[in-house]
Amino acid sequence: MKLNLKTKLIYLIIPILLLISASKAQEQGGNQSTYKTKLNLAAEQTKVQNMLNKFIKTIDEDIDDYKIQVVESPEINAYASLGNNIVIYTALIELLQNDTALAFVVAHELGHLEENHVWKSVARQSLSSLLSYYVFRESRVLHGVDRLHSLHYSRSKEKEADMFAVKLMNQLYCKQAGKLEFFQTMLERGESPKILEYISTHPLSSTRLAYLTKEIEADNCLI
């Protein structure tokens, strides 16, 4: 397969990013030394793997091309990464009260992979970072503009992943409660004022609840 210049640049930059990521993870490890989950990691791993397999079969993809891992961490987070990998932190699983809510998280991260968000983000942010450093490092204004544009891009992709997830959930978990529990929990804990939404990497939970509930109603899956 012939690679274009942009793809070649991505392949050159990715190893550097992976090294930086590994270094940061190692640094954060010290902060997690006191955290110990009460979850059975093997059981949770099997659970999320089964969820992912179910979704993969529904979208007619090869199960062997995707991986999911439960990682012990006090951070409430989940993410998709290069190589069709999904990582779910134990603190997020502990936060959720039912498996349907967890399934939505898995479907959301799968959405990032299926929409090629990971590759697009790596390409854009890597090239943008290099350009900012070598060309605009003396200009804080231009750096700030690039930062805001990047965050807006990220929010739009979050919504795309949400829409991908809710369609899958409506197919497989239509009348099961708890699909949007994660967002409801975030609302109960409190969130940023709407004035700050523009500089947030994710849509506010209330915003996401609104458009996701609309989709669930449209498919007659609201209970």
List per-residue pLDDT tens for the chain, 223 residues long: 445 565 555 555 555 554 454 445 445 544 556 899 999 999 999 999 999 999 999 999 999 999 999 999 998 888 888 889 999 999 999 999 899 999 999 999 999 999 886 766 655 555 444 445 455 444 444 444 444 444 444 778 889 999 999 999 999 999 999 999 988 888 777 654 544 444 455 677 888 999 999 999 999 998 8
Does any domain span residue 85?
yes
Does any domain span residue 1?
no
**Residue 112 · residue 81 · CB < 8 Å:** no
Question: What CA–CA distances, in Å, run from 178 to 111, 157, 162?
Answer: 19, 23, 15
Task: Specify the pLDDT at position 200.
Answer: 56
Contacts within 8 Å (CB) and 24+ apart, 155-158: 155/200, 155/201, 155/202, 155/203, 157/112, 157/115, 157/117, 157/120, 157/121, 158/201, 158/202, 158/203
Does any domain span residue 135?
yes
Does any domain span residue 81?
yes
Does any domain span residue 6?
no
Residue 88 CB neighbours (<10 A): 25
In which domain, by residue range, is 147 found? 36-218
Predicted model pTM: 0.74
Count structural domains, the chain.
1
